[in-house]
Structure 1
Amino acid sequence: MNLFGKLIAGLLGYLILGIPGLILGLLIGHLFDKGLAGIAADPRLSDPVYRAKIEASFFRLSFQMLGAMAKADGRVSEMELQAARALMQRMNLDEQRTAEAMTAFNAGKSPDFDLDAALNEFSEVVDKRKDLVAFLIQTLAVMAAADGHLDEAENEFLMQVGTRLGVSRAQLQMLLRMMAAQSGFHGQTRGGGQQGGYQGGGQQPPHVSEAERLEQAYWALGVSQNDSDATIKKAYRKLMSEHHPDKLAARGIPESMRALHTEKAKEISTAYELIKANRGMK
């Protein structure tokens, strides 16, 4: 049983009691344990053709979903279009890849877009790769929050996509809660200051207390304030490992999208530093 499985077994009681911080054990453990364990053993990943097929499918579906999500509230606003273009610039897409992204985005927001067909195609390509399903949801959440917030329609759309790909609503809610907590540390120094504009969906309002911010840091790591220092360190190291560029590449995450996930590593690191300082950890 790996770290995530142990978190499930050891902390499930807290979840039943309603104490937050068990997202990592319940969600990531459930989604990633088998999927990540099977990555190294999957001989297809050494095939550049198969890897390219996964990357192309992930890239295309992500922007199709972004387009479909933009129209989830009934119309695609100019602000949403601008946010999509800004996201492509943030990903440093070249002219060809930008054109591919816009084609997929426009397909997703068209009235005749077949959501089920697109998701079925992706499922066939990834073939039970639960890790990629989870990373797709994370990518969509980051992309959706590129305009500064994740509204109710976008949140519900993510729920629909996740459940159609085999993830329960409870697990999705926990994933989005953890990501929102992480986003609260976007663009901030380890001391809590800002480093330029905020791009995520969890911007810190000025009235957030130190206690609330600390609670958010625990959520960001998927741990509880009742956990030991050792447990918190293990959870942090595991999260950082999962967001390492090499690990992302090994899963078939397109290079242009890896930056979105490595940004999450910075947020996680900032949250961890806050917890360390509060606990006096070394």
Structure 2
Amino acid sequence: MAIIGKILGGVLGFAVGGPLGALLGAVAGHGLIDRSRSRAVESGSGAVEADAGVVFALGVIALSAKVAKADGTVTRDEIRTFQRIFPFDPEERDRIAELYNEARRSADGFEAYAEQVRGALAGKPELLAEVVDALYAIAAADGELHEAEERMIARIGAIFGLGEYEMASLRARHAPGSGSRSRAASDRGRGAADAYAVLGVEPGVSDEELRAAHRKLVRTYHPDRLVSKGLPEEFMELANDRLAAINAAYETVTKERRAH
């Protein structure tokens, strides 16, 4: 079953406790999620029982709503990017929109959602990084990263336990001016400094260290591996974009080194 069906049909959605479970419960109360096959909603801080894919998708929805609220405006570009990252059928739009809007309205802070996602995806830092990747992509879709958005995403990354180089890598490929559909194409147009950041290394590393860093990133963030870890297939384009950005950054750096 597609991940959106698991969430909206209640097959796994109501096995989620904590603030994400409360979010689903609030939307179910509006009649937009099928309660007939669902379990009881846990609104406390219980452990997450749903699979990683369900929590990943809910995390992207809830946290992107909170990030959008940070600068007070949701632009058409941000909506289009959200729909590209998380494609869904037109008939599901109203229910996804209600989840998103309920997360924006919720009194639960973004930290509560982030902490629950971290707990649910413990031992899967690659998936946590992909959540942050999605947040940067959506926030930068309007051509700029607002200070409030940056602070919130940085805090989410810290809650997830992502390191300085990992966060710099994620931010670099979504820097203002890089919001085209093809991340690989946009990365080729950037300077070597951003390319090094995407690869998570300093410009002074040796060629051998550079190759090793590139191989590790490709191995870690290959879309097939991410799916095996629980990434919903609906988010494959996000994973493919990042792999393309990693390869394009490596190409940029190696060309720059050969030129000197």
TM-score (norm 2): 0.66
| 8 Å Cα contact 1:69/1:154 also seen in 2 | yes
**Map of 2:65 onto structure 1:** 67
**Map of 2:180 onto structure 1:** 198
Letter in 2 for 1:155: E
Letter in 2 for 1:126: L
Residues matched between the structures, number? 208
**Map of 1:90 onto structure 2:** 84
**Map of 2:210 onto structure 1:** 232
Q: Aligned equivalents of 1:200 and 1:148: distance in 2?
A: 15
Higher relative contact order (CA 8 A, sep 6+): 1
**RMSD over equivalenced CA pairs, Å:** 3.4
| 8 Å Cα contact 2:67/2:135 also seen in 1 | no
Q: CA deviation at 1:65?
A: 0.7
Letter in 1 for 2:205: D
C-alpha spacing 1:255/1:109, structure 2 compared with 1 (3 Å): same
Q: CA deviation at 1:94?
A: 2.1
* 2:235 maps to 1:257: yes
C-alpha spacing 1:245/1:126, structure 2 compared with 1 (3 Å): same
| 8 Å Cα contact 1:220/1:271 also seen in 2 | yes
- Select which of 219, 222, 234 maps to 1:244: 222
| 8 Å Cα contact 1:51/1:252 also seen in 2 | no
Q: CA deviation at 1:128?
A: 4.3
Letter in 1 for 2:126: D
**Map of 2:51 onto structure 1:** 53
- Select which of 157, 172, 175 maps to 2:166: 175
| 8 Å Cα contact 1:58/1:136 also seen in 2 | yes
Q: CA deviation at 1:251?
A: 1.6
Q: Which runs of 5+ in 2 are unaligned?
A: 1-47
**Map of 1:219 onto structure 2:** 197
Q: CA deviation at 1:186?
A: 8.7
| 8 Å Cα contact 1:183/1:200 also seen in 2 | no
Counting aligned pairs with the same residue, the percent is 25
Q: Aligned equivalents of 1:84 and 1:101: distance in 2?
A: 15
Higher mean C-alpha deviation, range 83-92 or range 260-269? 83-92
Q: Secondary structure at the match of 2:70?
A: coil
**Structural mapping, 1:1-282, within 5 Å:** 53-73=51-71, 75=72, 77=73, 80-91=74-85, 92-95=87-90, 98-167=93-162, 171-172=163-164, 174-183=165-174, 198=180, 213-280=191-258
